[in-house]
Structure 1
Amino acid sequence: MEEAKGVVKHIVLAKFKDETTPEKIEELIKAYANLVNLIPPMKTFHWGKDVSVESLNQGFTHVFESTFESAEGIAEYNAHPAHDEFANLFLSHSDKVIIFDYKPTVFRW
């Protein structure tokens, strides 16, 4: 197994409040995606909705994945004013959130 050099993935699982409309969720997703344009160490952004048939999502409905150039890049992202502003808005519409950062490892046979 080989650890990706420097790269760190930032995963957010979210369950939005019942009163958060689909339009507001779409607005939040667009604002989250725009952080790539505002915070240089944030290299990519992907998101999706739960489609599992196992019903083990514990109420979480959305996943957001960002790629950073390093752990220091995540620290810069967390301290950035654009992140602070977005996070406050995002969390005000979230019922539950899990955040997980990891260094990807590639399995090679």
Structure 2
Amino acid sequence: MEETKEVVVKHILLAKFKDEIPPDRIEELIKGYANLVNKIEPMKSFHWGEDVSQENLHQGFTHLFESTFETVEGVAEYVARPVHVEFAGTFLPALEKFVVFDYKPTTVPL
């Protein structure tokens, strides 16, 4: 019997919050984003962080948000869910700029 390998899709959001958004509001928005993993079944995990690079190549982006899904269809379901749409309506206006990128991680054989 042939085993099927679990497909994993990463949903990445690079963001820069508007300068006028206070730190406590940013924290509140991040907690709301993290809580989506409890509300949207296809979303398997959530991680985030702030840029700490010494190379200064971030092009002004300050935060990275990473969500994990098992399938591309799971990402599409997540994006269309009303709870996500509602959250995006409050999160995105707080951003000066953002980029979204979905990908399937690949390991290069050595």
Task: Report the TM-score range of the alignment, normalised by the length of the smaller protein.
Answer: over 0.9
What is the Cα deviation at residue 91 of structure 1? 0.7
Mapped to 2, the partners of 1:86 and 1:50 lie a distance apart of 23
Q: Which is higher, the Rg of structure 1 or of structure 2?
A: 2
Q: Which residue does the alignment assign to 1:15? A: 16
**Identity percentage over the alignment?**
65
Shift of 1:5: 3.6
Could you say which structure has the higher strand fraction? 1
The Cα shift of 1:106 comes to 1.6
- What TM-score do the two structures reach when normalised by structure 2? 0.93
Q: Which structure 1 residue ranges, 5 or more long, are not aligned? A: none
The aligned runs of 1:16-35 (5 Å cut-off) are 16-35=17-36
Could you tell me which runs of 5 or more consecutive residues in structure 2 were left unpaired when the two chains were aligned.
Answer: none
TM-score using structure 1 length:
0.94
Count of residue pairs brought into register by the alignment: 106
In the TM superposition, structure 1's runs of 4+ consecutive aligned residues that sit over 6 Å from their partners are none
> What is the RMSD of the two structures over their aligned residues, measured on CA atoms?
1.0
Q: Which residue type is aligned with residue 64 of structure 1?
A: F
Matched, 1:108 2:109: yes
